[in-house]
Amino acid sequence: MTTDPKLVHQLDGRIAEVRERIASAAVAVGRDPESVTLIAVSKTHPWATIAAAAKVGQRDFGENRLEEALAKRREPGAADLRWHMIGHVQSRKAAAVVEAGFDLIHSVDTLRLAERLSRAAQPTGRTQPVLLECNVSGEDSKSGFVAANHADWSALIDTWSTLGRLPGLSVVGLMTMAPWGTDDETARPIFARLRELSALAQARLGLVWPVLSMGMTDDYAGAVREGATHVRVGRAIFGDRG
């Protein structure tokens, strides 16, 4: 597929601007900008747009609908990219999500879902990397393990101890979303809480979880300042979805 030069130029500028903000936020707190992975949230955008972003060096893409992601991954060149499932995974689709072979599933939000993913992964002989989605803001509308109150963390970590022993899965970190409408500064306490929870869980479980997936278009710089290793940016790169 030939890529539209105008689109390539446009995306090159937008991605460069996002990366510059990531670098500035990282340096401000003494971090290496290369420690932050930029995930371009490509859901609802066509393959031609993804191909244009890939042409300027973007390698990580986030999808939230299985069927849409599978269609894109059948395109020439898709195998050279890294694909992230960032949307809610229904338990009944767990086997299909594992079969799709995402490089990372960000949205494991219940022990039941983890168990289904584990059962699906075992026959494949492949270990599926996952993140545990946490609701640290306390919003009723958000999915995730309930983690808004420190008092709940001990029981939560006990649950994760069970989850972490499931065969076929590899827990590599945590994920969260800040409330809609927050900016870099107002979202930072949410991101700091996830970082604190991750540190406590790792200490209690004797594990190393290298990933903190947090921060989107409106607040990713604040997330980087609070330790995000993966930021999920859509609108600032691709514009509004159609």
The single residue listed with the structure tokens 């446009």 is 10
Full-model pTM: 0.96
Say what the alpha-carbon torsion angle 175, 181, 186, 188 is, to the nearest 10 degrees: 10
- pLDDT tens readout for residues 46-59: 999 999 999 999 99
Q: How confident is the model at residue 76 (pLDDT cuts 50, 70, 90)?
A: very high
- Six-digit token pair at 18? 């996002």
Our measurement of the distance from residue 20's CA atom to the centroid of its chain's CA atoms, rounded to an integer in Å, reads: 20
The pLDDT of residue 241 is 65
The pLDDT of residue 181 is 83
* Domains, the chain: 5-238 (3.20.20.10)
- pLDDT tens readout for residues 168-217: 999 999 999 999 888 999 999 999 999 999 999 999 999 999 999 999 99
In whole angstroms, give the CA distance from residue 128 to residue 97.
10
- CB-based burial of residue 92 (10 Å sphere; 0-12 exposed, 13-18 middle, 19+ buried)? exposed
In whole angstroms, give the CA distance from residue 147 to residue 136.
5
